[in-house]
Structure 1
Amino acid sequence: MINKKKVYRLCHELNILRPQRKIQTKYPRKLARNRIITDSNQLFETDIKYGYITGEDRFFYIQSCLDVYDRSVVAFHIGLRCEAKDVVRTLQAALLKRQLFEAVEKPVIRSDNGPQFISHIFEKACETFGIEHERIPPRTPNMNAHIESFHRLLQDECLARYDFQTYAEAYEAVSEFILFYNERRIHSSIRDLSPTEFHAKNRITPIPIKEVRV
């Protein structure tokens, strides 16, 4: 008759038992739902776009986090890669810039189903930050329409106009475009103001605009 205790002890001494795999917390997928946005800091949309560096024959990545009410690019990441840890830093930067870590009501963050956004790292960060993360269904970019619109502008008014020779050139051009977009580019949907100007004025005295349905 086999003595199971002796077998276990022998295996342990010979270091041939495989350690038990840690069970990671699984986060339920929350589908994006229809919302009416009435102020800043209620809904952020985020997505990733790539550009090409001709002189180095490689791609670079831009992740933007946009407030759908005031149209501001609250935070962004530019890099030769864009991993889960990078999108976490962008979200953290957005919350810090808007001073929302101590706020009772925090924005919902909406994304597509890219690997960075469905990662355990990103979901854990959202839980830690105390914000809700919702994902649009596959093949429904219209549910992330505001960030899609910004990335079309980025493509047409910046990326398509340059033949980047270095990553440094690409970084500078994209950074300058986002600054221009936030500070000087006017939007008819926010009373022909720039996102930064609208956000600042709206904080002092609410500016009525057409309700934002997403």
Structure 2
Amino acid sequence: MYLMNSYKIGIKRACAVAGLTRSMWYYSSKRDDSELIGKLSQLAVAYPTRGFDEYYYRIRREGLKWNRKRVLRVYRQMKLKLRRKHKKRLPGREKCPLEVPLELNECWSMDFMSDSLTDGRRIRVFNVIDDCNREALASDIGLSFPARTVIETLENLRDEIGTPKYIRCDNGPEFLSKLFINWCQRHHIEIRYTQPGKPMQNGYVERFNRFFREDILDAYYFNDIYQMREKVWEWTEDYNNNHPHSSLGNKSPREFKPRFSKELKFFAESG
């Protein structure tokens, strides 16, 4: 190519000067390494801290007869020799269909929202609803909300209305903590995690969050969390008692399926 561009000569003359046959100029490699690249990529994702030898012997154990030099050449071309930073990965999440429970306390959905006060401090809102009647069970507010505070909210609900069979939530650090998982195991509660990047697998609480953001977070400026808690309590009571939910036949959550606390249920049963 250099001779042809510099001296304006043809392919035949350039090949003769370089001592090459014209067939070498027209030759194109038919080697296809796509399958090998795919295999090495798969191994690099599954075992990001391992080296070439382990990848090569894993390939051989699977019955693939690629030559060691060829595997090493592709390994170097892919720059797998350089150690890559890798993050902790979530275990595989099974897709759980979003079903409508027939009874209260069968499945609760939980999620976090965030906003800021007028002085710029960030706040978090922890929402819990019952999937059966879409009742807002809790909308707790705090400047921070670690797993310990999540458990405090759930303990308060347990004392008031009991515990659910299932909890549906995303893969946030509060829900992945050992503290939260151990609490659920201790109370025989199954955790149903949504798949990463699939918020609509928790669609009931996502819909609730939309109303909450439109009516509270986007509608008011709050100076402190105490002011916000008062407004949220008023809104939650109105939502549970008066919000016409289209999927509930335009009935409010408590109208569709009322809930009694332990004390009220005791007095109702005793006459």
For the criterion TM > 0.5, the same-fold answer is yes
The more displaced of 168-177 and 39-48 is 168-177
Match of 2:201 in 1: 143
Q: Partner of 1:117: helix, strand, or coil? A: helix
CA 1:30 to 1:131, structure 2 compared with 1: closer, same or farther past 3 Å?
farther
Q: Give the counterpart of 1:68 among 105, 114, 131.
A: 131
Q: Partner of 2:97: helix, strand, or coil? A: coil
The more displaced of 175-184 and 125-134 is 175-184
Structure 1 Cα separation of the partners of residues 254 and 95 of structure 2: 27
Q: Give the counterpart of 2:223 among 165, 189, 206.
A: 165
Structure whose residues are more often strand by fraction: 1
Q: Give the counterpart of 1:152 among 201, 210, 227.
A: 210
- Would you say the 8 A contact 1:29–1:134 is kept in 2? no
TM-score of the pair, normalised by structure 2: 0.58
Structure 2 Cα separation of the partners of residues 141 and 131 of structure 1: 21
Displacement of 1:33 in angstroms is 1.7
Structure 2 Cα separation of the partners of residues 81 and 165 of structure 1: 17
Structure 2 Cα separation of the partners of residues 74 and 167 of structure 1: 19
Match of 2:142 in 1: 79
- Would you say the 8 A contact 1:32–1:136 is kept in 2? yes
Match of 1:204 in 2: none
AA paired with 1:33? C
Identity %: 29
Give CA deviations for 1:157-188 in whole Å, capped at 9, x if unaligned. Answer: 11111111222222222222122211221212
Match of 1:50 in 2: 114
Displacement of 1:127 in angstroms is 0.7
The more displaced of 182-191 and 61-70 is 182-191
- Would you say the 8 A contact 1:109–1:134 is kept in 2? yes
- Would you say the 8 A contact 2:170–2:195 is kept in 1? yes
AA paired with 2:172? G
Structure 1 Cα separation of the partners of residues 109 and 170 of structure 2: 9
Structure 2 Cα separation of the partners of residues 169 and 108 of structure 1: 33
Q: Partner of 1:181: helix, strand, or coil? A: helix
Structure 2 Cα separation of the partners of residues 176 and 32 of structure 1: 36
Structure 2 unmatched ranges of 5 or more: 1-90, 260-271
Q: Which has the higher contact order (CA 8 A, sep 6+)?
A: 1
Alignment of 1:80-159 (within 5 A): 80-100=143-163, 106-159=164-217
- Would you say the 8 A contact 1:46–1:65 is kept in 2? yes
TM-score of the pair, normalised by structure 1: 0.72
Structure whose residues are more often helix by fraction: 2
Give CA deviations for 1:11-41 in whole Å, capped at 9, x if unaligned. Answer: xxxxxxxxxxxxxxxxx87645225332322
Displacement of 1:49 in angstroms is 0.6
Structure 1 Cα separation of the partners of residues 111 and 238 of structure 2: 20
The more displaced of 169-178 and 131-140 is 169-178
Q: Give the counterpart of 1:188 among 239, 242, 246.
A: 246
Displacement of 1:63 in angstroms is 0.6
| 2:237 matches 1:179 | yes
Match of 1:39 in 2: 103
Structure 1 unmatched ranges of 5 or more: 1-27, 101-105, 202-214
Alignment of 1:12-31 (within 5 A): 31=94
Q: Partner of 1:158: helix, strand, or coil? A: helix
> Aligned pair count?
169
Match of 1:200 in 2: 258
CA 1:77 to 1:35, structure 2 compared with 1: closer, same or farther past 3 Å?
same
Q: Partner of 1:85: helix, strand, or coil? A: helix
The more displaced of 174-183 and 125-134 is 174-183
Q: Which has the larger radius of gyration?
A: 2
